[in-house]
Amino acid sequence: MSVSDKDIRKKERSARLMVWMAARSSRNQTFIDRLCRALIVRATTVAPEDDFMRDPLIDNDEGFDPDELDRYQRGETA
């Protein structure tokens, strides 16, 4: 068995394991299901500093306060 065959078999086992974990995590009934879900979430969550979709302008926005939102919905300009 060559090195490339070993790599291919390793990737196949990894893919089977990922599919099995995804199927188990979608059930969410037993401890193993919840553990698989936690592992998948941990593996797929992007760190905030590496997330290119984050926008500091949006993250730092305070949004509307309740009075301002009420005035906006009533159509007041000032």
| pLDDT tens readout for residues 25-48 | 998 899 999 999 999 999 889 888
DSSP annotation of 48:
G
pLDDT score of 54 more than 90: no
Given a contact cutoff of 8 angstroms between Cβ atoms, the answer to whether 14 and 8 are in contact is no
This prediction's pTM: 0.55
Determine the Cα–Cα distance for residues 52 and 14; give it in Å rounded to an integer.
Answer: 27
pLDDT at 12 (0 to 100): 96
Given a contact cutoff of 8 angstroms between Cβ atoms, the answer to whether 45 and 51 are in contact is no
pLDDT score of 1 more than 80: no
pLDDT at 11 (0 to 100): 94
pLDDT at 52 (0 to 100): 79
Quick one: residue 5, left, alpha or beta (phi over 0 = left, psi -120 to 50 = alpha)?
alpha
Based on DSSP, count helices (H) and strands (E) in the chain, helices before strands. Answer: 4, 0
